[in-house]
Structures are given as structure tokens and as C-alpha cells.
Structure 1
Amino acid sequence: MHNTHRLSVHFVVDHEYAVATSGDMDGRVSFPMADRTILLDSLHDMLEAGRSLAATLRDAYPGAALEPRRIAEALASSTEAERANTAAKFLAIENQYGVRRRGNDYLSAGRKLTPDTIEEIGLATALCLGSPIDDKRVVCDLASYMSGPPIPGIHLVGIDASLTLSEPISIDGWELFAASRDDLKVMLPLPSLGDFQVRPWDPEIWAGLVFLRRFIKPDPVIGLRLFAPEAFPEWGLWRPLLVLSLVTPDVITMWTDHDVEPGRRIYKRLDRVYYEPVATDGEHEAIWRPFARAINLEQSDEPAFREQVLQIAALLPQEPSPANGSKNLKSAYARLKIAAQRLLAAGQHATGSTATPMDPVHATDALLHYVVALEALVGVDTRDGEIVRKISQRTAILAARNDTERIGVAREIRNVYQTRSRVIHGGAEPSIRDLEALRAIVRRVILGALVHIDSYISGNLIHRCDEALLSAGMLESLREPLIPFDYIT
């Protein structure tokens, strides 16, 4: 007769298979059942039970195709799966993997094999098809998936770019790299069952795409991430994306955003990869490949590109913490962040290295984003009657390289404000030329704030811009540090 007992860890355990005891292991609980061998044996028995279930269903419904869901539900409710789940829980506690606690009580730990997870990892499909699988590899993959231990994760962000890099480039704690087939394959969940899963990506098709990645320390809590959709997902990665958007003529946008637990689970935040047909020899159907619009860097350009990225990345100020940093620093950093995010948001409505918006509504949005960016950087102390004058003059000082350009930039900004007024009151939409010129100006003003970061943080940069209208010396002191960045247009 099986007796059950609810433990302080909130697990109902069958005492024929496990006995829980309390122990003092750095505040953890020690369980004799926390043995990987027990889990591996339980999973092996579960695979055999799954094969028997599939055979029984085939006999019961001869000639009918088995449904993976039916297999998944039957297997999840089997005694063998329950034993595997119990063993995995205790081993997960021992490994401190996926633990959720309330005080000293463990509410849950690790991952459980449910009908949904058995379908998701591809096991149900493999059993339905009767396909040969490597039991030893499958069992080992399942054990790690269910019970850990914690491993480093990867925050992986795909960007709209086409380039070849001999090695990754570090940008503000992220790595920029062109992914190979093997880079992408090694991250996929449960590789031993990979042929039977609906994968988050196809390594063959995504090979060559450009990504930003950041390695994450092992996390004992898994599966609790809730990803709310964002109107502008680029805003969360504005620092590395700003660097790339300054170095190249393109405003870089995100295509994908995944949290990866390599070999176990991939959590998707965003996937909006665009595909285009690639011509074949005429005898076969066209192959659909991701369509990268931005950067388009040739291998011979890599050394200069790498140097420029590192040069711009070094200009980024450190983010102030809530507890530290002056009021001026926090205010200046917030305004720089707004400007960068608006530049990136406007870029969502452009195509490749042009600022051509997809439709008139987006053209208006882009114009307003650019105006907000400029006002955040150089319009801090302006009053209603002088906004246009001060912003046009300060923008001209920071964005232009000579007197002729300064006159042209000031005129362009005045025209932008007139266009904004017309648009708000239902007039004509901004022209493509307006947006192309304005994007270049905004990029140069952001660069000016970064190059003169100390003056910008103190609030003195805008006053120096005003003084530069009357002082050739002040104009030169602002202009000279910007000369090495004249490639940014």
C-alpha cells in the first residue's frame, strides 16, 4: 500500500520511490533521492513505456496516423513519467535549478514533463513516427532539461545587417558576430530530439545572420520570464544599436530577440525576420533566405569598421545607478537615452541605408521622433518663443563642419519645424529628402553630445554652442574634437 505525505517542500512523494529528509546544506534540503542515476533510469523506463504506448495505439487504430498530442497525454500520465518527474524535482533542488521558494519551503523545482513539454521537445513526434533515436543521448538531454544544473545563458538579438567578421566585436558588454550554422545549432533545445521539434530557427537558413549576444550568469530561477510586447524593442538595447547606427549610414533595427538556455530551452521575445526568395537553377523551387538590408560590409572593410565601432563605443557614458550619480548626470543621461531611442524608433520606418518610410503615416512618425531627439539634446532651456531659433542654431554648431553647412543645417531645422506644424494641422506629409537630411543631422548632434560628454553632462554644452555664434575660438574648440568623426554623415 502506498502512503503519501506532504513534505515541507510542497511535494507529494510516493514513499516507494523516495524518502525526503531535512538537512543543513547552506540553507538547502538534502534528499537521498537526489541522484542522477535514479533519474536516468526513470527516463529510460519512460522511453520504453512511450514505445509501448505508441505500439498499443497503432494496434488499436490500424492504418490511422498517430497524433503526437495523444501520445503526449498518455505518456505524461504514465507511472514512469511520474517517477521521472519526482526524481527530477529532488535532483533540481540539489542542483538549485529552477527553484521557487516561499521562505524555507520549496514550491517547485526544475521542469516537469507535461503533455505540452513532451510535444514541444519533439519526443511525442519521435514516438509517433517510430523513428530510431539514440536513447542514451535523449535520456541525458532530458535529465539536464528537467533537473539542471544551472548553466550560463545567452541573450541573443538578431539585427538587420549583412557583414562578415573574422571574430566578434565587443560593444558595451555585447558581442557583435555573424553566426555560423554550428553557432546556431549548438543553442537549440535537446539536440538529440532536434529533428522532431518545431525549432525557433533553422541553422541552415539563419547561418550568416548578424547578432548581438550577451552571456548571462547561471540562474537558479528558470521559466518565470514574462515578455510583454514592446512598441519599439530596440529601446532596450539602445546603447549597442546606437553605436552601430552612428558608424554606418543605416539605423540598425532588431529582427529577433531570444533568451537561450543552450541545449535546453529558448524563450522568444521577438521574431520578425523578413525573407526573400533566392533564385535557383530553374529546376528547383526558390529558396527563401533572410533579407538583410543594412550595413552590407565587405570583408576588406572589416578593419576600419572594427576600429570605428570600438571608437564610438568608448564614448558612451556609464549608466548612473539610482543610488549614485549627480542630478545633472542622471538628467543628461536620460536625455541622451531619449534621443538615441527616438533615432532608433524613426529607423524602424526606413528601409536599409535610406530613410524612405514605408507609408505616409510612418513618415510623420519619423519626423516627430527626430524632433523629439533634437529637443532632448539641445532644447533643454528653451522657451516657446525661442525654441526654433535656439535649436536650429545649436544643432548647426554641432552637426555642421563649415560655415556653408551651418547655414544649411539651421535652414533645414527651421523648415522641419514648419513641416511639423503643417503635419499636425493636417497638411502635407514630410518629404523623403526632409527625413534623409534630418536623420543625418540627428546622428551628428548625438555624436556631438558624446564627444563633449563632460560638457554635456554639466549642462554647459548648449551654452558653449550659443557662445560659438560669436566666438571663433569657442567654435573651434567644439569643432576640433569632432574632426576624427567626420565619416559620420
Structure 2
Amino acid sequence: MPDHTQRLTEAISTLVDDAASHGAELTHDEAVAAFAVPHLRLINMAAAAAARANGYLHRVDDEADSGPVEHRWGRTLTVHTMANFGISGVLRNPPVPDRLAGELAGYLSGPPITGEYLTVLDADLPVAGSHQIAGWILSQIVEGELDGLVPLPSAATFARNPWDDALRHGGCTVLRQDAPSLEPSVGSFLPRWLVEDLFAPYRAIIAWKPLLLLNIAQPERVLAAAEYEIEPGRVVDRVHGDGLGMVENGNGVDEWEEPGWGPCRPDPDELAEILQVAEKLSARLMLWPDPPDGGKKARQHPSNRLRRAAHQFLATVSRLGADRDVLHQRNRAEVIFGYVAALEHLMTGAGEGHSDLGRKVAQRTAVLIGRSDEDRLQIRQAIADAYGIRSSVAHGDDPDERHLPTLPRQLHAYLQQVLRDLIILGPDFAVDKSCDDALLSVAIREKAITGPVGEAVAGLPASARWIRADVSIRGRARLRRRVPRDRR
């Protein structure tokens, strides 16, 4: 049986050797491109054969009107790829690293390797080491840590860097997860993030579980500044977000650049409490089964309802500034609309119609999270007011401005606690029947809701047991502008 990978490596080595003998002529990328074209056909033929042997990146082109179905394997080397990945620069600046041929062969023909998801957080978290949250690793990137992940690392000096400035700088907090089933991208003239924005039917947040827990565990919003899908050493695709960027900061004496973090900036003691809450809830969330695919019945599965509510919540909090408040006044009604939609996903049962929905959601939410009769009445009224605003927005009317200044913060805290308590109670908790029965029976409320939730949060720090407690003192610490860790 022929060794197709060896033939591919030999074809690449021939290109490298010929480039060395024509070094004086290869003064710019266009010259390298013109020189390389005769080699590309042989390289790509060998790459297709090797990829087929490796079972790598198989596609079927069956869109043609006539003729046989066309099978394609692996990737194609083009002059565009050579320039972007730094191959042209390496050929113009010998000596060529010995490992380049093997790296390029892997990019073109495999074999398959385990991929990785990486989500950059817009939060300044002083993380030491790594922490498991809902199947993801929370850690802090140090300068140079990502160098080995870029396409063709031996040519990276001459390549377009796939990371934004803040991520290259180090100090960014990220969520990472191995992705054995990740289907690597073949390549496109359009950036992956643009393809997703234009053609994806909905915005899927890859790391929604750990992001949700970090947003439940403390008052300030934590967002995904950028999401990457990575085939280590071959492809780095930014699928969403622009990254953090770098901003100027100072303490009156020194000035420096730092990543453009959002409002979540806890000190180490606060972070320890946040991680304690997130890790406690993580164990509960991991008991929920993966959301099933399928029709209407699958969409009503508790895991799918939780996933949709989490996405709605995370999309809505992207409009927040500091201290749970809406960043722009004009967005207050839309934020309220988003929170109500998330509550509906969580507080209605499978198969329930839309009849009397506002009353059901308001009463069930009050029963689930209210700590006294007065508190429950306040929750019910606030959600009823929110439904009034949602109705106005949906029908093109001006919303009642009396409640716009206060409702977003109230609803945010309510939704945080609803999400926390439902995660604790688990996927078998029948929110419609249990909350409706608990409305009529204190004993049922204690057995089905208050008791299990109270037992689960008993081991948490006192400041974290009641989400809707006053956060003004902790908020001041979070809003400080901390000096960089290397300047302390």
C-alpha cells in the first residue's frame, strides 16, 4: 500500500528545495506565488490521496445537475493560504524550519486530531491555576501560551496572527474545553465570524453553561468577548465576537495598557466566593441531560427550556453596564422584554398554551423565589408590570415609563435566582404543578422548593446564599481600576 503521507511530504519538500535554489528571485509574496503555482497541483493531488487514506475532512458535492457525485478530502493549498499562514515569508527567508513540511502535511491531509473550544471573557478575574466549571476549564492566559495552537507554528513569524491584541498580551481569562467531535473548517474567503453572522439561524453560545453560572454567582455581567474553534496547529477560527482590545489605564503615577475588561473585576477574596458558588452549581448543572434534538416534544424538554432561557438571559445582559443596570436608556424596554422571555421559558410547563401566561409566570416566580408574603407580592407585581411593558413593545406602543428605571435590575436579580434554584431542583422538577401546588400549601412549598434549595445553598458563603441581597459594597470593589498584576 503506498504511503500517501510520505508522498505529500516529499512534494512539499520539493517546493522548499526549489525555493532555496531560487532564493534571490523570491523578493515578495507575489514572486513566491508565481514560483509555487507549478508545485501546487502535485501537492494537492498528494494531499487529497493522503486525506482520503486518513479519513480526514470528507465532503460530498452532490449539487451538480448531472454527472457523478464528487467526493473531496482534506484541504487545498493555494497561494492565498501560503501568504496568510506565513509559508511565503518562510520561503523568502531561509533556512526553512525542518518541521514545516510535517505541519503543512497535517493541515492539508490530517489525520484527525482533537479540537478545542476557547471563549475569552470580558471580566478581570485574578484566577490562579485552573478551575473546572460545568465541563470547562477556567484559567488565565499567559503571554505566549497560545503560540503552539496557531496554524503552522513554525511559520507563525510571517503569518497573520489569529488572536486579538489583548489575548496575545496575556492576562485574559478564558474558558477552554476539548472538542473531540469538532468538525474543522475547510477554509473560506469569508471570515468564519462573518459566515456565522450572515447565515447561522440563531446565535449559539458554545460555553453557555459556565457563562450562565458565572453570571448567577455574582451581580456583574460576564460576557463572551470572543469565541474560537481551534484545530491545534492547523486552524484557529474566531466564530463570534471581536475580542477585548487594549485600553489605556493609570493610577496617577504610572500609565499602562490593559485589556478592555467589563465591569466584573473582583479581588481574590471575592473571586474565591464566586468560584465556590459556580463550582457548587456546576455539580448540579452537570446532572441535567444534554438537550435532545428533534421536534416540538424535544423543544419542550427541561434541558432545552433551560438552554433557551440561558441564551436569552446572556443575550439580554450584553446590554448591561455596571451594577446590573442597563447601559443605554433607550434599551430598557428591550431588556425587560428579554428577561420576560427567559422567565417564560423557565416557568411554563411542557404543552401549556399561552392562555393567562402572565399570571402563571408571575405567580410561579413569586412562589419559587419569594422569601416572605410581602416579597412574593412584590415579585408578582413587578413581573405583571414587566408584562405590561412587553405588551406595549410587542404592539408598537410607548411603554409605561414609571417602571423603566427600576424593573431591569429587579428582573435581573429575579432571573438569577430562578435559574439558580431550578438548576438545584433539577430537570425532574415540574415547575407548573409544583409551583401551583406550593401556592396553596406551605408544606408542599417547604418540601418541594424551600427545603431542597436551602439545603443546597447552606454550604455557600453567607454573601452568596441570597442573590437579591444588597450588593452596593461589593459593587464598589468591582468597579475599581486595579493595577496590573505585575505592578502590585
Q: TM-score normalised by the shorter chain: which range applies? A: 0.7 to 0.9
> CA 1:328/1:143 → structure 2, altered by over 3 Å: closer, same or farther?
closer
- The answer as to whether partners of 1:153 and 1:261 remain within 8 angstroms in 2 is yes
CA RMSD, Structure 1 to Structure 2 (Å): 3.6
Mapped to 2, the partners of 1:290 and 1:154 lie a distance apart of: 23
In 2, Cα distance between equivalents of 1:333 and 1:219: 22
Report the alpha carbon displacement of residue 459 of structure 1 after superposing the two structures with TM.
4.1
In structure 2, the CA distance between the partners of 1:364 and 1:482, relative to structure 1 (3 Å rule), is same
User: If you compute each CA radius of gyration, which structure gives the higher value, 1 or 2?
Assistant: 1
1:74-103 residue CA offsets vs partner (Å, 9 max, x unmatched): 13312x443333333333333333344689
In the alignment, what sits opposite 1:425? Answer: 397
- Aligned 1:468-483 pairs, distance under 5 A: 471-477=441-447, 478-483=449-454
Q: TM-score, normalised by structure 2?
A: 0.78
Is 1:91 aligned to 2:50, yes or no?
A: yes
Deviation per residue, 1:126-156 (Å, 9 max, x gap): 44xx434443132332232223222211121
Contact 1:333 1:457 in 2 (8 A): no
Q: What SS does the corresponding residue of 2:219 show, helix, strand or coil?
A: coil
What are the superposed Cα offsets for residues 307-332 of structure 1, whole Å, 9 maximum, x if unpaired?
Answer: 321221222221253589x9699443
**Corresponding residue number in structure 2 for 1:174:** 136
Task: Please give the alpha-carbon distance, in whole angstroms, between the structure 2 residues aligned to 1:298 and 1:358.
Answer: 27
Shift of 1:44: 2.9
Aligned CA distance change for structure 1 residues 108 and 280 (closer, same or farther; 3 Å): same
Matched, 1:464 2:441: no
How far is 1:440 from its partner? 0.4
Contact 1:250 1:354 in 2 (8 A): yes
Measure, in 2, the Cα distance between the counterparts of 1:209 and 1:406. Answer: 41
Deviations 1:348-400 (CA, angstroms, capped at 9, x unpaired): 1112443323351x32221101111222333455765x544443332222222
Matched pairs, number = 439
Shift of the alpha carbon at 1:232?
6.7
Distance apart, 1:256 and its partner CA: 1.2
Residue 292 of structure 1: CA displacement?
1.6
Partner Cα separation in structure 1 for residue 35 and residue 245 of structure 2: 38
SS where residue 149 of structure 2 aligns?
coil
How much does 1:435 deviate? 0.5
CA contact (8 A) 1:328 1:459 kept: no
Identity of aligned residues (%): 23
* Counterpart Cα distance in 1 of 2:125 and 2:184: 36
Equivalents in 1 of 2:121, 2:207: separation in Å? 11
Q: 2:277 aligns with which of 298, 308, 320?
A: 308
AA at the equivalent of 2:216: L
What is the CA deviation profile of residues 96-134 of structure 1, one whole-angstrom value per residue up to 9, with x for unaligned ones?
33344689998333333211111111122344xx43444
* 8 Å contact from structure 1 (residues 366, 435) kept in 2: yes
Letter in 2 for 1:366: V
* Alignment partner, residue 304 of structure 2: 334
Show the 5 A alignment for 1:64-463.
Answer: 66=28, 68=29, 70-78=30-38, 80-100=39-59, 107-127=71-91, 130-201=92-163, 202=165, 205-217=168-180, 223=186, 227-229=195-197, 233=203, 235-279=205-249, 288-316=257-285, 317-322=288-293, 330-360=300-330, 362-380=331-349, 384=355, 386-423=356-393, 424-427=396-399, 431-453=404-426, 456-457=429-430, 459-463=432-436
Question: How far apart in 2 are the matches of 1:444 and 1:365?
Answer: 21
Kindly indicate whether the alpha-carbon contact (under 8 Å) linking 2:59 and 2:71 is maintained by their aligned counterparts in 1: yes
User: Helix, strand or coil: the match of 1:258?
Assistant: strand
Letter in 2 for 1:440: A
Query: Cα distance 1:340–1:123, how it changes in 2: closer, same or farther (>3 A)?
Result: same
Q: C-alpha separation between the residues in 1 aligned to 2:209 and 2:43? A: 45
Whichever residue aligns with residue 77 of structure 1, its letter is V
Report the AA paired with residue 292 of structure 2: S
Q: Deviations over 1:449-470 (max 9, x none)?
A: 2233356347422323422xxx
Structure with higher RCO (Cα < 8 A, 6+ apart): 2
CA contact (8 A) 1:242 1:340 kept: yes
TM-aligned CA distance change 1:82 to 1:135, over 3 Å? farther
Q: CA deviation at 1:288?
A: 4.9
Cα deviation 1:405-432 (Å, max 9, x = unaligned): 2232223223323333454412455634
SS at match of 1:339: helix
Instruction: Tell me if structure 2 keeps the 8 A contact 1:187–1:261.
Output: yes
Contact 1:50 1:71 in 2 (8 A): no
Q: Distance in 1 between matches of 2:95 and 2:241?
A: 30
Equivalent residues of 2:74, 2:186 under 8 A apart: no
CA separation of 1:96 and 1:219: change in aligned 2, threshold 3 A: farther
Q: Structure 2 counterpart of 1:116, which letter? A: H
One-letter code aligned to 1:208 = G
1:480 Cα deviation after fit: 2.8
Q: Which stretch shifts more, 118-127 or 231-240?
A: 231-240
Secondary structure in structure 1 of the residue aligned to 2:429: helix
- Work out whether residues 179 and 209 of structure 1, in 8 Å CA contact, stay in contact via their aligned partners in 2: yes
